[in-house]
Amino acid sequence: MTLVLPAVVGVLFASGTYLLLQRTLTRIVIGVSLLSHGANVLLLLSGLGAGEPPIVEGHTTPVRAYTDPLPQALVLTAIVISFGMTAFLLSMAYRSWRLTHSDEVRNDLEDRYLHARGGGPA
Amino acid sequence: MSSLILDTCTRAAFHTMWVFSLFMLFSGHNAPGGGFVGGLIAGAALVLRYAGHGTDHVRRVLPVAPELLLGTGIVFAAGTGATAWLAGGQFLQSGIAKLHLAVLGEVKLPSVLVFDVGVYLVVVGLVLALLETLGRQDPQ
Amino acid sequence: MSVLVPLPVAVSLLGAAVSLALHGRVRLQRALGLAVCIVATGTAVALLTIVQREGVVATQAGGWPAPFGITLVVDGFAAIMVTISTLMLLGCLVYAFGQLDAERERLYFHPVYLVLQAGVCLSFLTGDLFNLFVAFEVMLIASYVLLVLGGSQEQVGSGMTYVVINLLASTLFVSGVGLVYAATGSVNMADLVGRLAELPPNLRGGLGLLFLVVFGVKAALFPLFFWLPDSYPAAPTAVAAVFAGLLTKVGVYAVMRTQTLLFPGDGGPSTLILGVAGATMFVGVLGAIAQSDIKRILSFHIISQIGYMIMGLGLYTLAGLAAGIFYIVHHIVVKTALFLVAGLVERAEGTDALGRLGGFARRAPLVGALFMLPALSLAGLPPLSGFVAKLALVREGLALDRVVIVGVGLLVSLFTLFSMTKVWQRVFWGMGPSPEAVPPGARHGQATAPIAGGSRVRPPATMLGATAALVALSLVIAATAGPLYTITERAAADMLDTTDYLRAVLGG
């Protein structure tokens, strides 16, 4: 077990969260995909150590040769899903840019109501 | 818009990539590979074409509606599961047929292969659909 | 009879594939969608009767034995949920025939709708934590597409919030699954029951809380509900009705499933969950009172109603859980019906803003009646289904001496009644809008010419029929509350005593 991968997870989550809090759609999209990379690495880390594969039984083969196959299968699924999601988000951001020619997230409806009533800056 | 270098490289790589993607598809049962990776490689080949000449060119290279590819792909994938189920097994249970072919010798043909073909078709169809919808130049 | 278990999912997926290949032939797609929904509903009813007769049924997809393979399992709760969901999806599909404009329908509405059905059914049927994630994603991807179908500016803007929030929750979900696997070495829910129990209580509590947050976002629990009222009203009504009725309830199902099966706590009422339930009810209803569009009012009511279901979970007794499940069933039917009525009003008048409506009951008395019944049921007036559900919750709450949450629940019912009366008075009574108040065009580009103040309104037969059928279903629920309650009680018993579930999945 190395410390590098957990640190990578931490950095990915931190920078993803930071980008998610921005107002521009492109940054949000990148933030979301960084976050999902972080989750995928975390999933990969969750495997049992080498030599403890959950499926090989009887120990007729030297089990140390195998790593835990399950997280890899899980992470592949998660990667495919996040790939599709990122594509979808990008196309939405593109559509939004086509419609408004701005990359900024608009104010919430309630905020605009409050602003219209003169309730401070919006 | 079109570049000579890109064109020449695409011409050299395009068919190789398709063959490689098919190799990936068929080797996927016991070795690295599979329908998803194979489909992505084929999709990358199409994207190369797109980068050179745009969406309409891709349409001429592969004149199939993306919806048809996507639909057929999912039918293959879901159908494999359903076939096992109809044959009295568990849903998605896989079986292996061993064939003796003239040149190749014994070939294992797992039913997972049909599933993988489905995935392959879906991925290629998805890339086509993306090029179709997002890849077009803005009319304005 | 376990062969039937994967059928609702498989049929929906296959149907979606064929429907996709039939792109452009709307009539064929409609017929196919209808057939698939009917088959899925039939299977769901069959599963419900099987579970009543034989107890929990499980099947291992792929033929791998339980902790390794993909387990699909139906117990009472899952069977009830699948049945009511497929019924709802069938109703909304028929409604959509009349409501969707041709352009939206020619886009990928039908295939995506069937994918949504597959995802919803799989979420209920799966017995595997990771597969639950996949099912959620299938359902959510379909819901994203349905929400922004047509791609108007309003849809994309509010869709973005919905997508990003749900992606964030999904990321947390994957992380949670990873942590659970790292801690226990399994993701099969039945297998996890024993393995999680061996963990130190702090770790188990932390994992339980993480999943509560994840599903709390999907279920719109306090304080994670803020995305809901902004995104639902933007969708076409048939879609918004499915979302309102079903999607948050899938989240509620997941909360109840994980909190009872995987993280049962110490077995008594949970003050944390009851507090969340109370806050969800109260804040939701206050939001609803402040709104002035029908769909937004109804969206806030979804939030407040979810509080009642979670209250059932928080009580954590047989009667409490049974009442919670009954509440879910009642709510899915009633809320979907209300959204469909809102769609009828919006279609006829071109708006759903309260200030621009009025006198609708005079012009469409039937629609008025169709609104009145579920609205009163939502508020919990006897003898409608909402009354039965709330009565069961309140009685159990009093029996457990949880007076505060009962008080909040009753107060919120009163506010709900107030809010529904407001909608009734502004939309269905009165003289109708003055001519200049009618907006020139319709919202979301559904171009229906504004109709002159006095004329009768005739919605398409499919829309009216589907709405009427759902309202009738809510009356049936009220009329057969006794037998239905027995079924939910048995489902709750299975949730509290998991031996039957474990035996069905793990064997032995």
Q: What is the pLDDT of residue A9?
A: 93
Separation in Å, CA C407 to CA C158, C280, C337: 35, 14, 28
User: Tokens at residue B111, please?
Assistant: 């039913």
In a domain, A94, yes or no: yes
Q: What is the pLDDT of residue C229?
A: 85
Nearest to A109 among C178, C182, C230 (CB): C230
Residue C62, φ and ψ in degrees, nearest 5: 85, -10
Enter the DSSP assignment of C58.
Answer: E
Any A CB within 8 A of C156 CB? yes
In a domain, A27, yes or no: yes
Cβ neighbors of A62 (< 8 A, separation 6 or more) are: none
Residue of C nearest to B118 (CA): C17
Separation in Å, CA B43 to CA B18, B136, C211: 9, 17, 37
Does B36 contact A91 at a Cβ distance shorter than 8 Å?
no
Question: Are the CB atoms for C348 and C253 separated by under 8 Å?
Answer: no
How many domains are contained in chain B?
1
How many domains are contained in chain A?
1
Q: What is the pLDDT of residue C81?
A: 94
Question: Are the CB atoms for C260 and C321 separated by under 8 Å?
Answer: yes
Residue of C nearest to A47 (CA): C182
Our measurement of the distance from residue C472's CA atom to the centroid of its chain's CA atoms, rounded to an integer in Å, reads 18
Taking alpha carbons only, the member of B43, B54, B41, B60 closest to residue B1 is B54
Residue C73, φ and ψ in degrees, nearest 5: -145, 140
In a domain, A19, yes or no: yes
Could you tell me which chains touch chain C, where touching means 3 or more CB pairs under 8 A? Answer: A, B
Residue of A nearest to C136 (CA): A81
Does A92 contact C163 at a Cβ distance shorter than 8 Å?
yes
Q: What is the pLDDT of residue C345?
A: 86
Does C62 contact B75 at a Cβ distance shorter than 8 Å?
no
Q: What is the pLDDT of residue C464?
A: 87
Question: Are the CB atoms for C126 and C132 separated by under 8 Å?
Answer: yes
In a domain, B138, yes or no: no
Q: Which domain holds residue B36?
A: 4-133
User: What is the value of ipTM here, to two decimals?
Assistant: 0.86
Distance CA B27, CA B22 (A): 9
In a domain, A122, yes or no: no
Residue to mutate among C3, C20, C23, with most B CBs inside 10 A, is: C20
Q: What is the pLDDT of residue C458?
A: 75
Does B130 contact A87 at a Cβ distance shorter than 8 Å?
yes
Distance CA C247, CA C231 (A): 13
Taking alpha carbons only, the member of C196, C200, C174 closest to residue C185 is C196
Which residues numbered 73-102 in B keep a CB inside 8 Å of some CB on C? 73-75, 78-79, 81-82, 84-85, 89-94
Distance from CA of A96 to the nearest CA of B (A): 13
Chain B residues whose beta carbon lies within 8 Å of the beta carbon of residue C17: 70-75, 78
CA-based angle A79:A83:A89, to the nearest 5? 140
Which residues numbered 14-73 in A keep a CB inside 8 Å of some CB on B? none
Does C17 contact B89 at a Cβ distance shorter than 8 Å?
no
Helix (H) or strand (E) holding B108: strand B105-110
Chain A residues whose beta carbon lies within 8 Å of the beta carbon of residue C179: 42, 46
Separation in Å, CA B79 to CA B25, B118, C346, C428: 18, 9, 41, 50
Does A35 contact C153 at a Cβ distance shorter than 8 Å?
no
Q: Which residue has the higher pLDDT, C310 or A61?
A: C310
What does B3-72 look like in DSSP terms, one character per residue?
Answer: -HHHHHHHHHHHHHHHHHHHHHHHHTTTSS--HHHHHHHHHHHHHHHHHHH-HHHHHHHS-S-HHHHHHH
Residue of C nearest to B82 (CA): C10
Nearest to B90 among C21, C23, C62 (CB): C62
Residue of C nearest to A35 (CA): C171
Does B85 contact C62 at a Cβ distance shorter than 8 Å?
no
Nearest to B36 among A80, A87, A98 (CB): A80
Which amino acid is residue B66, in one-letter code?
Answer: P
**Tell me, what CATH number does A97's domain have?**
1.10.287.3510
User: Tokens at residue B46, please?
Assistant: 């199409």
Phi-psi region of C456 (alpha: psi -120 to 50; beta: other; left: phi over 0): beta
In a domain, B139, yes or no: no
What does C301-342 look like in DSSP terms, one character per residue?
Answer: HHHHHHHHHHHHHHH-SHHHHHHHHHHHHHHHHHHHHHHHHH
Could you tell me which chains touch chain B, where touching means 3 or more CB pairs under 8 A? Answer: A, C
Around Cβ C185, how many Cβ atoms within 10 Å?
18
- Give the total residue count for chain A: 122
Distance from CA of C267 to the nearest CA of A (A): 29
Chain B residues whose beta carbon lies within 8 Å of the beta carbon of residue A76: 36
Chain A residues whose beta carbon lies within 8 Å of the beta carbon of residue B133: 91
Could you tell me which chains touch chain A, where touching means 3 or more CB pairs under 8 A? Answer: B, C
DSSP E strand stretches across chain A: none
What is the block-wise mean pLDDT of chain B (140 residues), using blocks of 10 residues?
81 90 84 84 90 81 84 84 74 68 67 85 88 66
Residue of C nearest to A79 (CA): C174
Question: Are the CB atoms for C86 and C125 separated by under 8 Å?
Answer: no
Does A87 contact B138 at a Cβ distance shorter than 8 Å?
no
Q: What is the pLDDT of residue B97?
A: 67
Taking alpha carbons only, the member of C246, C264, C277 closest to residue C142 is C246
User: Tokens at residue C396, please?
Assistant: 């159990």
Q: What is the pLDDT of residue B105?
A: 66
Kindly report the three-state secondary structure assignment for every residue of C415-448.
Answer: HHHHHHHHHHHHHHCCCCCCHHHCCCCCHHHCCC
Q: What is the pLDDT of residue C36?
A: 93
What is the block-wise mean pLDDT of chain C (508 residues), using blocks of 10 residues?
81 88 85 92 92 86 74 91 93 86 76 93 92 92 87 80 90 92 86 87 90 92 85 84 90 91 79 91 91 87 92 89 92 91 84 78 84 88 86 90 90 91 85 52 42 64 88 90 90 87 81
Around Cβ C290, how many Cβ atoms within 10 Å?
12
What does C61-119 look like in DSSP terms, one character per residue?
Answer: ETT--TTTSEEEEE-HHHHHHHHHHHHHHHHHHHHHHHHS-HHHIIIIIHHHHHHHHHH
Chain B residues whose beta carbon lies within 8 Å of the beta carbon of residue C111: 71
Which amino acid is residue C297, in one-letter code?
Answer: I
Taking alpha carbons only, the member of C435, C422, C410 closest to residue C371 is C422
